A = this chain, B = another copy of it.
């Protein structure tokens, strides 16, 4: 089925909101998401319902059907692959990629997607640390937590940042932290939330609470 860019965006949003809240998605939530009016959303979800992409009941919100879910996963796959491409190959920073990926995800070409995947060496995660669904839409989840939550003694791998202001990214590169960097938590000071880490088994660095909560990491094993 040929879907318009708008239809695709709705489906992806329904998927993401469901993922976050676990409940049926209200028209208001979608209206919020796209900064449009709820009446417009009602219109669209009714059409998506007729196409058997979503389950929709008046006043009861909307959820994805099988077909819709598969569309959503393919979109997320493309979106995240493009984000990897932009960061790894075209010198985009983590916060610049989203808007462009939002457009690129709608390009229709199975060959493009699979070749891009191969060209990037089948990445499993995007620059924000989020998993990239495979061809069949399977998602390899991974526990993602703030460095500020990591216990003393544990080793964490940097998989993303929460907000990526220029200043912050420059600070990270200055202390040698990038995606994939291993951080061992040597000490934590509860009184100001700062964390002492060893970067890649070498340098020892103290990170403020602000920095620590801005870093997404995953634990070894």
Chain A residues packing against B (C-beta within 8 Å): 86, 89-92, 96, 99-100, 103-104, 107-109, 111-112, 115-116, 119
CA distance A115 to B86 in the complex (A): 9
Q: 21 interchain pairs (CB within 8 A)?
A: A86-B112, A89-B119, A90-B111, A90-B112, A90-B115, A90-B116, A90-B119, A91-B115, A92-B111, A92-B115, A96-B111, A99-B109, A100-B107, A100-B109, A100-B111, A100-B112, A103-B107, A103-B108, A103-B109, A104-B107, A107-B107
CA distance A90 to B115 in the complex (A): 5
Number of copies: 2
Q: Tell me whether chain A's interface is mostly helix, strand or loop, or mixed.
A: helix
The 6 closest A-B pairs by CB, nearest first: A90-B115, A100-B109, A103-B107, A100-B112, A91-B115, A89-B119
CA distance A96 to B7 in the complex (A): 27
CA distance A96 to B99 in the complex (A): 27
CA distance A142 to B111 in the complex (A): 32
- Shortest Cβ distance from A96 into chain B, in angstroms? 7
Name A91's closest neighbour in chain B (CB-CB). B115
CA distance A119 to B109 in the complex (A): 22
CA distance A103 to B91 in the complex (A): 23
* Residues of B contacting A91 in the complex (Cβ-Cβ under 8 angstroms): 115
Name A112's closest neighbour in chain B (CB-CB). B100
- Taking A91-B115, A96-B111 as given, write out 6 further A-B residue pairs in contact, using a Cβ cutoff of 8 Å, ordered by the A residue number: A90-B115, A90-B116, A99-B109, A100-B109, A100-B111, A103-B108
* Residues of B contacting A112 in the complex (Cβ-Cβ under 8 angstroms): 86, 90, 100
* Residues of B contacting A108 in the complex (Cβ-Cβ under 8 angstroms): 103
CA distance A91 to B91 in the complex (A): 22
CA distance A90 to B81 in the complex (A): 14
* Residues of B contacting A115 in the complex (Cβ-Cβ under 8 angstroms): 90-92
- Shortest Cβ distance from A54 into chain B, in angstroms? 26
CA distance A139 to B119 in the complex (A): 30
* Residues of B contacting A99 in the complex (Cβ-Cβ under 8 angstroms): 109
